[in-house]
Structure 1
Amino acid sequence: MTAGSDEPKGRYLRYLEVVTGSLEDKKRWRQYKARIKQLPDDYRTAAEALERYLMHFGPADGAGAMAMFADLADLLERSAADGTPIRGLFGDDPVEFVEAFMANYPLGQYRARERKRFTSAIARAAGEDAAREDGTV
């Protein structure tokens, strides 16, 4: 890497992002975690539980996931500022809340592609020959 040239540094950063993932997404993740850390204890506990659930079942791509986590932080910060009780926010069925919350975000390319592939395979197995591999009819 030469000191006066931006090109080698640009190439290096592009290579680094291929290996480690988007540096911008990592920055956004650290910002999200800092916001969650500032919440009152009960909201932080709820946020951590919701985050754990979303890591397993939420969007698989970085950009979609980061938009979702930023919106989650916004929601929790507003709720804490307004004094909304945890049950008032999540309701009696937290899974129903989180599933409705996730429905607003794209699944991510891999999961969407696999869902289409699975649906198509079942249609073929059921003898519905109009279904194709890409999930279209």
Structure 2
Amino acid sequence: MNFYDKVTGHDLTKLQRAYDQRIAQLPQDYQSAWRQLNQEIWQFTDFSGRNLYPILADVVGLFEESAAEGLAVSAVIGSSLNNFITELAHVEGAKDYRDKLRAQLNQTIAKKLAKEETR
């Protein structure tokens, strides 16, 4: 990857297109699940979104393997796509906005408490 691609995010666009092409080869229910997943998972992104692409690569692989075995997408993701996304992101260490705000609040409180103790 060259510097230009990294700065502009062009490399991520290439990856996204590659994932979309692979998903297009799968049954319709997998394609629908992918579209929903791809919209909802971005709440767990860092500034650039680079932290999510390994997760998306794993999901594409999981979907391909499951479709090849003849499994329905509901057998793969369970009864709730949102629960699947949340669990997947947390297992991989991605944090949503609440997690980031909680950490920031905890740091602020710890600083205030440290100042109070030094008085």
Give yes or no for TM over 0.5. yes
Bigger proportion of residues as helix: 2
Deviations 1:65-100 (A, max 9, x none): 111111110011111111112221122232222111
Question: How many percent identity over aligned positions?
Answer: 28
Quick one: higher RCO (CA 8 Å, sep 6+), 1 or 2? 2
Distance of aligned partners of 1:14 and 1:112 in 2 relative to their CA distance in 1, 3 Å threshold = farther
Q: CA deviation at 1:32?
A: 1.0
With the length of structure 2 as denominator, give the TM-score of the two structures: 0.73
Q: List runs of 5+ in structure 1 lacking aligned partners.
A: 1-12, 132-137
**Structure 1 CA distance, aligned partners of 2:4 and 2:31?**
35
Tell me how far apart the structure 2 counterparts of residues 107 and 99 of structure 1 sit (CA, whole Å): 9
1:129 maps onto 2:116 in alignment: no
Gaps of 5+ in 2: none
Residue equivalent to 1:4: none
Amino acid across the alignment from 1:26: T
* Structure 1 match to 2:44: 58
The one-letter code of the counterpart of 1:27 is K
2:3 partner letter: R
TM superposition shift of 1:102: 0.8
Q: Looking at CA atoms only, which structure, 1 or 2, has the larger radius of gyration?
A: 1
